[in-house]
Structure 1
Amino acid sequence: MSHPSGADRLVVLHRGILPPNAESIERLADTVYATEEELPLLLPGADAVFCWHSITSAVAPAWPEDPALAPGWVHVAAAGVDPFLFPALVDSPDVVLTNSRGVYDQAIAEYVLGLVLALAKDFPGSWEHQRRREWRPRDSERIGGRTALVWGTGPIGRAIARMLRAVGMRVAGAGRTARDGDPDFGTVHEGASLRTALAEADYVVLAAPLTPATLRMVDASVLAAMKPGARLVNVGRGGLVDEEALALHLADGRLAGAALDVFDREPLPSASPLWDMPGVIVSPHTAGEVTGWRGDLADLFLDNLRRWREGRPLRNVVDKEKGYVRESAALT
């Protein structure tokens, strides 16, 4: 394989599947491919790392102890970067972390709408009756006029809010700063007003990043504050939710159901009670995976690689202390 003279050394972390634009990447950088097992040998001395396999805990233990051997740039093929917020990376002013913000917004919003409809219309129950060849007419719920609280006001949360408003739902947001007049959420709640919003919401949709501030933010007290008969939808990160407390609130019937695409441990252990609970939809972290998504992820990285080589500002620079991209650092 030939490489451009003097090209930066790039390590691409993968799990068997390479980016679809691998040849274009190789023309811009001296590229080596590493599995999680190979990463400790190949990461030291690299100029940049492309975490094409992004749901991984392998980067932290492979990170070189000598800062001089650490890469200057890490790009993650995902919106969430929580596995990469380890001290050596976060504390280094010389390491830039970028993510794939913008790729998943519309796909996840559509998925959330599908989940809300599936819960309201009890599609899982219909499929189970079909499997048993049972004819069971029954009423279902409308979603028009119902209230959704979207917890997480980044681009994915905004896309979800717009999608749910489009089908006639009343939408509010939950975020770090309370405000009125938001173009997508109307009202954004925090603190004391959040408890009131939880008590009024028919659906609570989680789309927040996982950071030290949001870890287990949906705990037993938050679940108890939710409206009786409400439903929880999580397309953010599994660590946002105390799953044991959620299972208890579902088992006692206080909550009507949940649609969960992300979990504290993935794959979800077979012993988890969430698999078999009535009114619960389990999906394997696929809300954003639609036709062409890998190409979109790879193209975003390729654009950033060109920027890196040319010394231009990178897209989606993560604030490593906060764990997400500030609006001013997103670029397009």
Structure 2
Amino acid sequence: MIGTDSPVLAVLCGDQHPPDMDSIERSATVRYTRADGLAEALRGADVLFVYDFLSTAVPDAWPAADRLRWVHIASAGVDPVMFPELRASDVVLTNSRGVFDSSIAEYVLGVVLAFAKDFAGSLRLQQECRWRHRETERIGGRTALVVGTGPIGRAIARLLRAAGMRVAGVGRRARDDDPDFGTVYPSERLTEHLPGADYVVAVAPLTEQTKGMFDSAAFAAMRPSARFVNVGRGELVVTEDLVAALRAGELAGAALDVFDTEPLPQDSPLWTMPNVLVSPHMSGDFVGWRNALVAVFADNFQRWRGGQPLRNVVDKTLGYVPSGR
């Protein structure tokens, strides 16, 4: 039975409750809520678990948070909860860094191979019952520029290197001796290094500095044979500029898992472009991912209860977890 001194945990979960919460329910008063009940659930709550990590309900409900000490979001990206009041508060913010690294890296390798081996073309021809021999590309020796050097970007770099690709990174700080990327270029010089890449992979966190970083100038800098892959945030890209660049032949294709508007509107031209692969924000979602997200929170919850340092503490001035934290 939960004692009177048990912490109060609000869980923003939408239509689906998180699994494997039994151990947490035994040591806390848990209030499960949808967005419309979040304000009420936050009154007197010590902790907020944003399980519905796509929800934008937290800023509006924030004034009701009269005792909150810690917010955890069930994703690597924290932009849905990076509003000014939370930034300015003493509330600790943590994320679920590490859960999706390998699965997103596998997705990126998969779409790189799909482009190089023209799997989409083979499927179309199969559906038309047409036998048409073609030559395809190799990925060995091709260059990938990974924009974003956090854990997901590093997992992508390691897997692409293992497949024989040459990889470089783009991040906040330039360096020449990175163990995963080799060379990391500074973000402010992105357009200088885009022309050398066969594949450009966007996995940067969404911040004021990265929002819209892939615009008409960036796409114009890419070689016409390059492919663009976005597994970061939809708002990293100016969608109209991407569509225009694809139509103008400024790049050869795009694989997009995230969009500035989700679900992707049915009238978006991206749906029907022959050189575009669309997936519904699922690059990281492997079988069992929900359980893995709860496991990360449960570990941190026990740490918080025991007065131990939390894992994955977000630097609220940067908008992500710095390396080594």
* Superposition TM-score, scaled by structure 1 size: 0.95
Partner of 1:44: 43
Q: Is the 8 A contact 1:238 1:262 kept in 2?
A: yes
What amino acid sits opposite 1:224 in the alignment?
Answer: A
Mapped to 1, the partners of 2:95 and 2:192 lie a distance apart of 34
Which one of the candidate residues 207, 215, 219 is aligned to 1:219? Answer: 215
Is residue 69 of structure 2 the alignment partner of residue 72 of structure 1?
Answer: yes
Q: CA deviation at 1:192?
A: 6.8
Q: Is the 8 A contact 1:63 1:70 kept in 2?
A: no
Mapped to 1, the partners of 2:141 and 2:256 lie a distance apart of 23
Partner of 1:145: 141
- Residue identity (%): 58
Q: Is the 8 A contact 1:44 1:63 kept in 2?
A: no
DSSP-derived class of the 1:291 partner = coil
Partner of 1:292: 288
After TM superposition, the structure 1 stretch with the greater mean CA deviation from structure 2, 151-160 or 130-139, is: 130-139
What amino acid sits opposite 2:17 in the alignment?
Answer: L
Q: CA deviation at 1:194?
A: 3.2
- Decide whether aligned partners of structure 1 residues 222 and 41 sit closer, same or farther in structure 2, where only a CA change above 3 A counts: same
What amino acid sits opposite 2:186 in the alignment?
Answer: E
What amino acid sits opposite 1:84 in the alignment?
Answer: V
Q: CA deviation at 1:44?
A: 2.4
Q: CA deviation at 1:318?
A: 0.3
Partner of 2:106: 110
Mapped to 2, the partners of 1:5 and 1:43 lie a distance apart of 18
Mapped to 2, the partners of 1:58 and 1:237 lie a distance apart of 19
Mapped to 2, the partners of 1:5 and 1:129 lie a distance apart of 66
DSSP-derived class of the 1:11 partner = strand
Partner of 1:27: 26
What amino acid sits opposite 2:175 in the alignment?
Answer: R
What amino acid sits opposite 2:57 in the alignment?
Answer: A
What amino acid sits opposite 1:116 in the alignment?
Answer: V
CA-to-aligned-CA distance 1:121-151 (integer Å, 9 cap, x gap):
1111211222222222211111111000000
Q: Is the 8 A contact 1:149 1:204 kept in 2?
A: yes
Give 1:1-332 correspondences, 5 Å limit: 2-64=1-63, 69-92=66-89, 94-190=90-186, 193-329=189-325
Q: Is the 8 A contact 2:228 2:253 kept in 1?
A: yes
What amino acid sits opposite 1:64 in the alignment?
Answer: P
Q: CA deviation at 1:64?
A: 1.3
Q: Is the 8 A contact 1:44 1:64 kept in 2?
A: no
DSSP-derived class of the 1:150 partner = strand
Q: Is the 8 A contact 2:87 2:316 kept in 1?
A: yes
After TM superposition, the structure 1 stretch with the greater mean CA deviation from structure 2, 192-201 or 261-270, is: 192-201
Mapped to 1, the partners of 2:169 and 2:230 lie a distance apart of 14
CA-to-aligned-CA distance 1:236-276 (integer Å, 9 cap, x gap):
00000111000000011121000000000111111111111
Mapped to 2, the partners of 1:301 and 1:192 lie a distance apart of 35
After TM superposition, the structure 1 stretch with the greater mean CA deviation from structure 2, 95-104 or 191-200, is: 191-200
After TM superposition, the structure 1 stretch with the greater mean CA deviation from structure 2, 190-199 or 138-147, is: 190-199
After TM superposition, the structure 1 stretch with the greater mean CA deviation from structure 2, 37-46 or 69-78, is: 37-46
* Superposition TM-score, scaled by structure 2 size: 0.97
Q: Is the 8 A contact 2:219 2:250 kept in 1?
A: no
Aligned residues: 325
Mapped to 2, the partners of 1:14 and 1:176 lie a distance apart of 33
What amino acid sits opposite 2:47 in the alignment?
Answer: A
Mapped to 1, the partners of 2:310 and 2:188 lie a distance apart of 38
Aligned residues: CA RMSD: 1.3
Mapped to 2, the partners of 1:104 and 1:231 lie a distance apart of 23
DSSP-derived class of the 2:191 partner = helix
Q: CA deviation at 1:70?
A: 4.7
CA-to-aligned-CA distance 1:266-290 (integer Å, 9 cap, x gap):
1111111111111100001111100
Mapped to 2, the partners of 1:182 and 1:45 lie a distance apart of 46
What stretches of structure 1 of length at least 5 have no aligned partner? Answer: none
What stretches of structure 2 of length at least 5 have no aligned partner? Answer: none
4+ residue runs over 6 A deviation: none
Q: CA deviation at 1:117?
A: 0.6
What amino acid sits opposite 1:41 in the alignment?
Answer: E
Mapped to 1, the partners of 2:221 and 2:249 lie a distance apart of 14
Mapped to 1, the partners of 2:174 and 2:290 lie a distance apart of 36
